[in-house]
Amino acid sequence: MEKLLNISSGPHVRDRWSTRFIMLIVSASLMPAAVLGIAFHGIHSLFVILASVASAVGTEFIFDKITHRPDTWKDGSAIVTGLLLALTLSPNSKLYLPILGSVFAILVVKCFFGGLGRNFLNPALAARCFLLISFGSDMTDFSVKNGVDAVSSATPTADLLAGKAVNVTRMFLGNTNGIIGTSVIALLIGGLFLWAMDIIHGQICFSVLIGFALFVGLFGGQGFDPRFILAHICGGGVVMGAFFMATDYTTSPVSKLGQLIYGILIGVLGGLFRLFGSAADSFSYSIIIANLFTPLIDMYIIPKPFAYRRKAIEARQALAEAGIESRTEEKKTFLGRIPKPVIALAVITLVSGLALSGVYTMTKDTIDEQKRIAKAMSYKAVCPGAEEFEFPGEVEAWITENGGAVYGTDFGRCYINEAVIGKDAAGDTAGYVVSVTTADGNDGNISLSVGVDEDGVVNGIAFTELNETPGMGMLCGEPAFMGQFEGAAVDRFELLKGGGADEEYEIDAISGSTVTSSAVVNAVNAGLDFINNVMKGGE
């Protein structure tokens, strides 16, 4: 009885390589990216990696013991999951993020569905999406404090989408802001090594890159500019997703044609989210969605058994020799062998992309004009005595030189967009206005204008971007909160989370929205500091 064979779900052993050996090779292929990530981003990156891997292995070990299962933690898959998750996190991540993410990946996504080979989503990616949804602000904190760009908060991908110039060479090396595993050259070394050893399927990783590049070229607005396309490929986790995430055996199709369609689907969705989505680094979602389509692809695209064609040919030859006409269907063309649902999905995706691109192109000028008008109205609102606004050359030069950099060290992730001097009808200075963006909002960026008159009295604030939770964070845009800043002759405001403000420098936080309230106060303080120390020269 003990020699009986049983049928189980994949991955199945197809050659002399065991699961443990494959996972060891995958872990080794990720080492170049991990080492460069630690070298570029500092020692805290090492702690994030260790916390993630230890939590993943520990979770599977405890689960095996509690459920009396074999010691599956020894196969090395938990190490790969923890390592992949860590490489997708910011080098500044608080340690509870990799710990919670690894527990979710192993326990919920993997063990609760039966263990290795039975999960329907990539565990590391599912955990990253879980963390992005649950801890958005912490997951998007890409400022590096122990390595290069110590004051920069925007990733190269975010700068690229904002129309700013990016250094493709530094992106390729990984010497930029972003996740720990941001080194493209290190990921390519590891990924091509896996492909050369036939551990991953080339039709998946290369079709992902080709599909993504074609979509960016068609709908990116700059045609097939090699530098533009290469910059997009080098940012946002595209290379890591193509070689290490999309190629997961359990969550990818079996047939070569299915893998090709699966890869193109990921590339197209990744390009769609990159160009028209709200988040710059959203490639993870494209792979997760494609994982859900894998069962459908495998249902309709079934590889032919070995020797099937040979037997069919021999049968037709035998019938022909016997003088019997064969009624076997003519060999279908390549397109004829693609199931209609797959064609429909591809057409829907293409039409959706064309429609979105068309709408974006037609409305881009209108949207830009509306933004310009909204910004001008906000300037007038916070500097009512001004008839016109001037852009000081030296201030513009400072902003251009430090574009994307966090302003100061005490205001969170705030950066200065624009600064103007308001002039009255006589040409005298009526006040100063600064446009500030903070990345510390609960649900994304918050942009506002803060105005100060010639005597240093705050005229007020006006929001140009506020997308916080309705009924909570959005209350910061109500007069009851905004009015607290008006008429205060202070250099800095202080947020009171418990309420009871009675001094002009004190601001009562919105109950239940201290994160948004704190972000707004920090942005206002950054604007005041910029006016006093840069525009006024420290007067």
Indicate if the pLDDT at residue 512 is higher than 90: no
212-255 tens-digit pLDDT: 999 988 888 777 888 888 888 888 789 999 999 999 888 889 88
Closest to 245 (Cα-Cα) out of 179, 338, 303: 179
Closest to 108 (Cα-Cα) out of 120, 95, 97, 96: 120
Longest dimension (CA), the chain: 106
181-206 tens-digit pLDDT: 888 899 999 999 999 888 888 899 99
Q: How many angstroms separate the Cα of 508 from the Cα of each of 168, 267, 317, 513? A: 44, 47, 88, 11
Q: What integer pLDDT is reported at residue 349 of this predicted model?
A: 60
Indicate if the pLDDT at residue 10 is higher than 60: no
Q: In Å, how far from its chain's centre is CA 332?
A: 41
Q: What integer pLDDT is reported at residue 147 of this predicted model?
A: 38
Query: Mean pLDDT, to the nearest integer, of 436-458?
Result: 86
Classify burial at 22, counting beta carbons within 10 Å of its beta carbon; exposed 0-12, middle 13-18, buried 19 or more: buried
Three-state secondary structure string covering 294-316: HHHHHHHCCCCCCCHHHHHHHHH
Q: Which residue has the higher pLDDT, 94 or 282?
A: 94
Q: What integer pLDDT is reported at residue 145 of this predicted model?
A: 45
Q: What integer pLDDT is reported at residue 98 of this predicted model?
A: 93
Using only C-alpha atoms, the chain has a radius of gyration, in whole angstroms, of: 28
Name the band, by pLDDT with cuts 50, 70 and 90, for residue 314: low
Do 504 and 496 touch, CB atoms closer than 8 A? no
Q: What is the DSSP string of 124-184?
A: HHHHHHHHHHHSHHHHT----SSSSSTTB-S-HHHHHHTT----HHHHHHT-SSS-TT--H
Q: What integer pLDDT is reported at residue 149 of this predicted model?
A: 37
Q: Which residue has the higher pLDDT, 324 or 502?
A: 502
* Structure-token pair, residue 90: 């910011």
Closest to 126 (Cα-Cα) out of 291, 242, 237, 261: 291
Q: What integer pLDDT is reported at residue 240 of this predicted model?
A: 92
Query: Mean pLDDT, to the nearest integer, of 162-175?
Result: 76
Instruction: Identify the DSSP state of 414.
Output: E
Q: What is the DSSP string of 359-387?
A: HHHHHHHHHHHHHHHHHHHHHHHH-TT-S
Q: Pairing relation of β-strands 429-441 and 414-423?
A: antiparallel
CA-CA-CA-CA torsion sign (125, 126, 127, 130):
positive
Name the band, by pLDDT with cuts 50, 70 and 90, for residue 398: confident
Q: What percent of the chain has pLDDT over 90?
A: 23
Q: What integer pLDDT is reported at residue 297 of this predicted model?
A: 87
Q: How many angstroms separate the Cα of 282 from the Cα of each of 101, 102, 129, 358, 415? A: 17, 20, 9, 22, 23
Query: Residue 220: helix, strand or coil by DSSP?
Result: coil
Q: What is the DSSP string of 265-279?
A: HHHHHHHHHHHHSS-
* Structure-token pair, residue 457: 């009295």
pLDDT-wise least confident of 135-144, 374-383, 436-445: 135-144
Query: Mean pLDDT, to the nearest integer, of 281-306?
Result: 81
Name the band, by pLDDT with cuts 50, 70 and 90, for residue 28: very high
Q: For the chain, what is the mean pLDDT?
A: 81
> Across 138-142, 188-192, 509-513, 533-537, which has the greatest mean pLDDT?
188-192
Closest to 490 (Cα-Cα) out of 456, 523, 533: 456
Do 524 and 476 touch, CB atoms closer than 8 A? no
pLDDT-wise least confident of 369-373, 509-513, 519-523: 369-373
Q: How many angstroms separate the Cα of 333 from the Cα of each of 217, 260, 307, 336, 339? A: 29, 17, 20, 5, 12
Indicate if the pLDDT at residue 321 is higher than 80: no
Three-state secondary structure string covering 323-346: CCCCCCCCCCCCHHHCCHHHHHHH
The ranges assigned to domains in the chain are: 16-147, 200-325+336-382, 385-535
Backbone angles phi, psi at 423, to 5 degrees: -115, 135
Q: What percent of the chain has pLDDT over 70?
A: 78
Q: What integer pLDDT is reported at residue 444 of this predicted model?
A: 73
Query: Mean pLDDT, to the nearest integer, of 465-488?
Result: 85
Indicate if the pLDDT at residue 144 is higher than 50: no
Q: Which residue has the tokens 């958005």?
A: 136
Q: Work out the end-to-end distance of the chain between its first and last CA atoms, rounded to an integer number of angstroms.
A: 90
| Reported pTM | 0.60
Do 277 and 352 touch, CB atoms closer than 8 A? no
